[in-house]
A and B are shown apart, each in its own frame.
Chain A
Amino acid sequence: MEPSPPFVRLQALRKKFGADSLVIDGIDLTVAPGEFVAVIGPSGCGKSTLLKMIAGLSPVSSGQLSIAGQSPDALDSELAYVFQEPTLLPWLNVSANVELPLRLRGIPAESRAKTVTRCLAQVRLREKATAFPRQLSGGQQMRVSLARALSLSPRLLLLDEPFGALDEMTRNHLNEELLRLREEAGWTAFFVTHSVAEAVFLANRIVIMSANPGRIAHLVEIEIPYPRRPETREDPSFQQRVAHVTQLLRSVESKAA
């Protein structure tokens, strides 16, 4: 890969909760535009906290954090976050939910409607535009959540175990959709997950974290070319990489125990 200027740069990033509880200690990482980075590690390694710091939802204790050369606070529509749960507003229908970030930004109604139609088409939920969240399956709700995140055309997408609560078939399917959406829009992604197979399938780079305090233990490049297809999962090289990352993760976890 040719060297491109870093899009996300983390330098000696630390996070403390209270006086002596060090959650994240010295994270250094640079991410080029368009990279798909998966973050994986034992529970309590601070991977969700890391994501929240990048999002500007949790203050950085010390170190440097920049996205496109700016601090997260200075960024406006550059960044979108997808939570573990769909976090849809139950009193709004699907299109009003997707419209919410645009409404909060004060974007005029006409242009909002266009964007909503486009985003719902992207996640293949146009026929559900007037449905309420409770009428949707878990997978559909998550797709609405994705559509909402994409409504502001972000350059950086932060996803915190978005498909963790879904069954494997739905999860695989949504992973494929996510890659397809990325091909269309070309955003950079940070994806926190517990599933090694999901990380290997999605990412071009996997950050394996260790716990107490959270540090980067290994960085693994996944050199499977994009676009990746459902058949990619059956490829021996894919399974080798899953086995390799699983081993690394196990070594990190046994050190912690």
Chain B
Amino acid sequence: MLSARLKPLWPPLLTGVAFIGLWYLAREIIAPERKFMLPSPHAVWIAFGEHHEALLSASFNTVIGALVGFFAATLIASLLAITLSLSGLIRAALYPYLMMLQMMPIIVISPILVLWVGAGLPSVATITFLISFFPLVVNTTQGLISTDRKLVELFTMYRADRWQELRYLRIPAALPYFFTGLRIAGVLAPIGAIVGDFSAGNSAGNGGGLGFLALIYSARFKMDALFATVLSGCALGFLFAGAIALISRLSLSHWHESYEKVDR
């Protein structure tokens, strides 16, 4: 029983070990004067220890920026999705501009954002917002407009008004779509916060995040610490994704078929 549950763990572990092996091998192959570009895995591990205070405080700042931007995006995207779901005309009028928002090279506008909202947390949160907004709006709107036709007829049959239909039918039916959007946005949010920090961060009052820290380490050619910073960013992504997967499971598992146990 226990071995059966642990079974799925060994394939990724094996891949990880093989990857680290290849990493060491690569260091053996490259010329000595270039070795500084690729710190060894154990050097990265040591860097984690050496810089743990800076990394922790920067991660904390990044998480705050990511959370503020992510929550704002979730709230505003949900309200916008409800508005968009009301009519095809509204969707037609707004969709191209939403697409534009998504296509926008955010890193290029970040200097303007610094001027508009100020450096540090405001900019970081705004950039996170811009990056995680689109998947949330698109998925939630799709969910709100793809309600089972039979169920909509049922509500018509019971003479439900528009608000009742939204509250008791469309919103709960859209939840699985909403969570799909949330999962995509949740992975993007820490990336957005780090990118924002990279281009519009602020170290004043120990306010810098992982992006700012990465700038400092790369300027000082501290490659091992830079790698540790990148890996911390990955860890934040996993943290966000895990938390959202958990919330999604808690909200959907009692009824949605995606959580149904299947025999394989």
Residues of B within 8 A of A100 (CB): 158, 168
B159 in contact with A104 (CB, 8 Å): yes
The residue on A at minimum CB distance from B155 is A104
A89 in contact with B150 (CB, 8 Å): no
B172 in contact with A91 (CB, 8 Å): yes
Contact of A83 among B154, B158, B254 (CB under 8 A): B154
The answer for the CA separation of A45 and B156 in the assembled complex, in Å, is 24
Q: A83-B150, A103-B168, A104-B164 are in contact. Are A91 and B157 (CB under 8 A)?
A: no
Q: A132-B254, A134-B257, A134-B260 are in contact. Are A89 and B157 (CB under 8 A)?
A: no
The answer for the CA separation of A90 and B151 in the assembled complex, in Å, is 11
The answer for the CA separation of A100 and B155 in the assembled complex, in Å, is 10
- Interface size on A, as a range, is 20 to 34
Q: Does B56 contact A (CB under 8 A)?
A: no
Q: Does B50 contact A (CB under 8 A)?
A: no
Residues of B within 8 A of A134 (CB): 255, 257, 260
Q: A104-B159, A104-B160, A134-B255 are in contact. Are A87 and B154 (CB under 8 A)?
A: yes
Q: A100-B168, A103-B168 are in contact. Are A55 and B157 (CB under 8 A)?
A: yes
B260 in contact with A87 (CB, 8 Å): no
- Interface size on B, as a range, is 20 to 34
Q: Does A81 contact B (CB under 8 A)?
A: yes
**For chain A residues 60-113, which have a beta carbon within 8 Å of chain B?**
76, 80-81, 83, 85, 87, 89-91, 100-101, 103-105
Q: A104-B164, A134-B260 are in contact. Are A87 and B151 (CB under 8 A)?
A: yes
Q: Does A185 contact B (CB under 8 A)?
A: no
A104 in contact with B255 (CB, 8 Å): no
Residues of B within 8 A of A90 (CB): 255-257
Which secondary structure dominates where chain A touches chain B?
A: loop
The residue on A at minimum CB distance from B157 is A81
The answer for the CA separation of A56 and B153 in the assembled complex, in Å, is 11
The residue on A at minimum CB distance from B161 is A104
The residue on A at minimum CB distance from B165 is A104
The answer for the CA separation of A56 and B157 in the assembled complex, in Å, is 8
B172 in contact with A87 (CB, 8 Å): no
Q: Does B169 contact A (CB under 8 A)?
A: yes
**For chain B residues 139-177, which have a beta carbon within 8 Å of chain A?**
148, 150-151, 153-160, 164, 168-169, 172-173, 175
Residues of B within 8 A of A89 (CB): 151, 168-169, 172-173
Residues of B within 8 A of A103 (CB): 168
Residue of B153, B256, B260 most packed against chain A (CB within 10 A): B153
Residue of B159, B254, B260 most packed against chain A (CB within 10 A): B159
Residues of B within 8 A of A76 (CB): 159
**A5 to chain B: closest CB distance in Å?**
26
- Which residues from chain A sit less than 8 Å from chain B, CB to CB? 55-57, 76, 80-81, 83, 85, 87, 89-91, 100-101, 103-105, 132-134
What are 19 A-B contacts with C-beta separation under 8 Å?
A: A55-B157, A76-B159, A87-B150, A89-B172, A90-B256, A90-B257, A91-B173, A91-B175, A91-B254, A91-B255, A91-B256, A103-B168, A104-B158, A104-B164, A104-B168, A132-B254, A133-B255, A134-B257, A134-B260
Sample of 10 further A-B pairs with CB below 8 A, known A85-B150, A87-B148, A87-B150: A76-B159, A81-B157, A89-B168, A90-B256, A91-B254, A101-B158, A104-B158, A104-B159, A104-B160, A104-B168
User: Which 7 pairs, one residue from A and one from B, show the smallest C-beta to C-beta distance?
Assistant: A91-B255, A90-B255, A91-B172, A81-B157, A104-B160, A87-B150, A104-B158
